[in-house]
Amino acid sequence: MNSTIEREIRKRAEDKCELCGQTDPDKVSVYEVPDTPERIEGADIGILACDKCQAEFDSEEKDQNHWRCLNDSMWSTAPPVQVMAWRMLHRLKSYGWSQDMLDMMYMDEQQLEWAAAAGDALDKSDALVHRDANGVVLQAGDSVVLIKDLKVKGSSMVAKQGTAVRRISLDHENETYIEGKVGDQQIVIITEYVKKL
């Protein structure tokens, strides 16, 4: 990306992250929006985004509270900002509130086509979804609490009700299994016996 375009983007963004508003100049940089059609040129090929936003664009783990900033940035008049807001709202669909924002968002047909080019709106119904006893979606890295005493197979240990299990990992072949550490032991836990913290 040439320096003229970068200057235009920084000017449009007023030197702050166009998604969350981060103003620290050391933490914002120009991000070239992937899958940009050839007809798009100039400052519309990128956005000014902070390190945190950029790190979470393609990350499995997302800080949902950070992304509530999209409630403001989705109304931007800059097409690349709208495109990235739309893509992130699709990537956060498991949280419910993002669908409400998507329902309010308006984009013309060409922008919608550009936004969808990254594949975020594709039906991922075949993907495994891990849910706790209350039906809340679990993500890798979440913390859960046991809602009943569990005997740990292959040992004399009993994981007590109320025990917190931090930074869980998900079984990629079975949506009813998660893994986490209880004490110093890594165990497999059935999702119906946990509640997300």
Which pLDDT does position 93 carry in this prediction?
Answer: 83
Last residue of a domain, one of 116, 151, 183: 116
**Same-domain check for residues 98 and 10:** yes
**Same-domain check for residues 9 and 100:** yes
Q: Does residue 122 sit within a domain?
A: no
State the pLDDT confidence band at 127, using cuts at 50, 70 and 90.
low
Give how many domains the chain has, as a whole number. Answer: 2
Which is more confident, 184 or 70? Answer: 70
Q: Does residue 121 sit within a domain?
A: no
User: Closest Cα to residue 107, out of 124, 128, 82, 126?
Assistant: 82
Q: Please give the mean pLDDT across all residues of the chain.
A: 90
pLDDT tens, residue by residue, 100-113: 899 999 999 999 99
| pTM score, whole prediction | 0.62
Rounded Cα gap, residues 186 and 183, in angstroms: 8
Maximal C-alpha separation, the chain: 67
Question: In terms of residue numbers, what domain contains 101?
Answer: 3-116
Start-to-end CA distance of the chain, whole Å, equals 43
